[in-house]
Amino acid sequence: MAIFFSRMAFLHTILFVALSFSDCNFIGVESLGINYGQVANDLPPTEKVLELLKSYKLTKARIYDTSPQILTAFANSGIDLIVTIENNALRNLMDLQQALQWVTTHIRPYFPATRITGIAVGNEVFIGGDTALMANLVPAMASIHAALAKLGLDQYIHVSAPSSLAILSESYPPSAGCFRQELAAVMPQLLQFLDSTRAPFWINAYPYFAFKDEPNNISLDYVIFNSNLGMVDPYTKFHYDNMLYAQVDAVIFSMARMGFGGLEVRVSETGWPSKGDENEVGATVENASIYNRNLLRRQLANEGTPLKPVRILEREKEIKSELCILY
Ligand SMILES: *[C@@H]1O[C@H](CO)[C@@H](O)[C@H](O)[C@H]1NC(C)=O
Ligand SMILES: *[C@@H]1O[C@H](CO)[C@@H](O)[C@H](O)[C@H]1NC(C)=O
């Protein structure tokens, strides 16, 4: 299971890694990445971000656009980068000619010096009720993929679309996982596309939001990976000791209901707010530290979820070795 930290946790996570993992060796960190958001004050310069990533041996990052400055700065860094196409560009990119133009301008000049491994088409387009945008998603993904194929890049760069957990109408217990009824038409198209291009399903999962809604009913320890009794799914009998893994399995069960239980799920964002509005419970630097530290520790052990305990060999690894041979 590859996991990317949230935008809001970016700096905090970096600091945290520095404080807590300084004397550990980083075998296994390959599956962890950093979301490098640009919408914030006091962002460090890209060179500084690269230094930090390298010094903590984190090898993956995701950005929320295709900033030429960042793409250039990441050249020859050895860091795998996922780039994002903004939601408002999807409509035009349904057109193959435009998609080809887009890939030629935004990807081709930087690859392979910059190891672009994925393109996120939009972000969380299934929430917000914009049905036109939702309908444009899979056609835009298909055009981008076709454009990559035309340029011989499709074997190196996968195309997917990060979704919010709000796409599920049920997530508890995980085996009851189900996509929202409104998505009954578009979701099979997305899953079919991912299956046929062997791309992973990306989910942005923030257990914090579930906790915030029901702080009296959900144990904080369960949500921040502290030791706790956990819960047993009454149907599968799987034992869950943390909410993030339960959420990931709920997504897999939802996909399985549509016949696509074999797709790989990757966590494209997670994290914990270090500061919230006044009435928000749990949003403290300490709780965010605990969440990040526990998640790092669990993922350093290359852990999967109860439903998919063995981490599926990441295709990206094969891609890396191919790249080594080619270049
Ligand atoms: C706690 O959550 C469970 C499961 O969602 C629900 O059945 C129960 O009613 C909730 N209890 C309270 C006190 O909110
Ligand atoms: C973590 O969140 C809980 C729930 O709101 C709060 O009671 C607790 O004080 C927080 N712990 C720390 C160390 O910030």
Unique residue bearing structure tokens 């929202």: 180
- Check residue 152 and give its pLDDT: 97
Query: 217 C-alpha to center of ligand 1: Å?
Result: 6
- Check residue 274 and give its pLDDT: 80
- Check residue 5 and give its pLDDT: 65
Residue among 217, 233, 243 to mutate when testing ligand 1 (max atoms within 8 A of CB): 217
Query: 277 C-alpha to center of ligand 2: Å?
Result: 14
> Read out DSSP for 66-78?
--HHHHHHTTTS-
- Check residue 1 and give its pLDDT: 54
Q: Is the CB of 280 under 6 A from ligand 2?
A: no
In whole angstroms, what separates CA 120 from the centre of its chain? Answer: 9
In whole angstroms, what separates CA 306 from the centre of its chain? Answer: 19
Long-range contact set of residues 66-73: C-beta below 8 Å, sequence gap at least 24 = 66/106, 66/107, 67/38, 68/110, 70/36, 70/46, 71/110, 71/114, 71/116, 72/110, 72/114, 73/46, 73/47
Structural domain span for residue 141: 3-324
- Check residue 24 and give its pLDDT: 34
Query: 282 C-alpha to center of ligand 2: Å?
Result: 5
- Selection from 294, 275, 291 nearest residue 283 by Cα: 275
Q: Is the CB of 172 under 6 A from ligand 1?
A: yes
Nearest residue by C-alpha to atom 5 in ligand 1: 172
Positions annotated as catalytic residues are: 124, 269
- Check residue 8 and give its pLDDT: 45
Q: Is the CB of 236 under 6 A from ligand 2?
A: no
pLDDT tens for each residue of the chain, 327 residues long: 566 666 544 444 443 333 333 333 333 345 677 788 766 666 778 888 898 888 877 788 889 999 999 999 999 999 999 999 999 999 999 999 999 999 999 999 999 999 999 999 999 999 989 999 999 999 999 999 999 999 999 999 999 999 999 999 999 999 999 999 999 999 999 999 999 999 999 999 999 999 999 999 999 999 999 999 999 999 999 999 999 999 999 999 999 999 999 999 999 888 888 877 777 788 888 998 899 889 888 877 778 899 988 654 443 333 333 332 222
- Check residue 41 and give its pLDDT: 64
Q: State the closest ligand 1 atom to the C-alpha of 172, by its place in the atom list counted from 1.
A: 5
Unique residue bearing structure tokens 């959900």: 218
CATH number for the domain harbouring residue 158? 3.20.20.80
Q: What are the respective helix, strand and coil percentages of the chain, to the nearest 5?
A: 45, 15, 40
Nearest residue by C-alpha to atom 10 in ligand 2: 282
| Cβ-contact 96, 147 below 8 angstroms | yes
Number of domains in the chain: 1
Query: 263 C-alpha to center of ligand 1: Å?
Result: 31
